[in-house]
Amino acid sequence: MSSKQPALTAESAAQLKEGITQIIAQYQADPAAAVAEFRAQTRTITNFETETNSRGFTQVIDEPEALGGTNKGPNPVEVLLGALGTCQEIVIVAYAAALGIELDEVSIDVRGEIDLRGLFSVAAVPSGFSGISFDANIQARNATPEQLEQLKTLALEHCPVLDTLQRAIPVQNTYRLGVSAAPGQRASA
């Protein structure tokens, strides 16, 4: 038996279920309250080392040395893969709580294949992933096989990151372009 802390105990499941039930009731009563905007602000620190900030949480993003970075953090595509895995895990835990399922472990191994020739403009191939796959491991204490299958279905149907990746959505952008003056020189108008 592992001395590791369970992913979801009966006590924490009850607390989560109560909170989720309140949120659901609020959104049923006021659907407009369910529309949320999430934000991330990013900036370049130096070379490929960047940082992202969301709600006061800062994460360093970098490229591995093999791709010209300094390896001070995961690269953007690894963050995307991590976002998918962790979103799946959060949805699994939320629905397990709603179903009264105690979880010993939830872990996900997410992989993506990318042809780096697209990034470096070496060939006319997509610069993003050609495919993403994941293996989920859910170990429950008190669930039937049918409940675990239901949990899997709920995670696949209600994970916001998975939904975003599988559905074509518009991505709007604005670039503000300017020329900065070199030190000791005036900027051009």
Apex 170 CA angle, 88 and 47, nearest 5? 75
Q: Which pLDDT tens digit goes with each residue over 4-30?
A: 889 999 999 999 999 999 999 999 999
Is 187 among the domain residues?
no
Place of tokens 């629905």: 95
Full-model pTM: 0.91
Measure the CA–CA gap between 59 and 104, rounded to whole angstroms.
28
- Cβ pair 76, 82 in contact under 8 A: no
**For 97-155, what is each residue's pLDDT tens digit?**
999 999 999 999 999 999 999 999 999 999 999 999 999 999 999 999 999 999 999 99
Question: Which of 5 and 46 is assigned the larger pLDDT?
Answer: 46
Q: Is residue 15 part of a domain?
A: yes
One domain for residues 63 and 111? no
Q: What is the pLDDT of residue 189?
A: 58
Q: Which residue has the tokens 């495919």?
A: 131
* DSSP category for residue 143: -
Residues 69 and 79 both lie in one domain: no
User: Would strands 41-46 and 57-61 be described as parallel, antiparallel, or unpaired?
Assistant: unpaired
How far is the C-alpha of 134 from the C-alpha of 158, rounded, in Å? 16
pLDDT at 57 over 70: yes
Tell me, yes or no, whether 100 and 50 share the same domain: no
- DSSP letters along 9-64, please? -HHHHHHHHHHHHHHHHHHHH-GGGG------EEEEEETTEEEEEETTEEEEE---
- Same domain, residue pair 22 and 51: no
Range of the structural domain that residue 138 is part of: 10-35+75-166
21 lies in the same domain as 69 = no
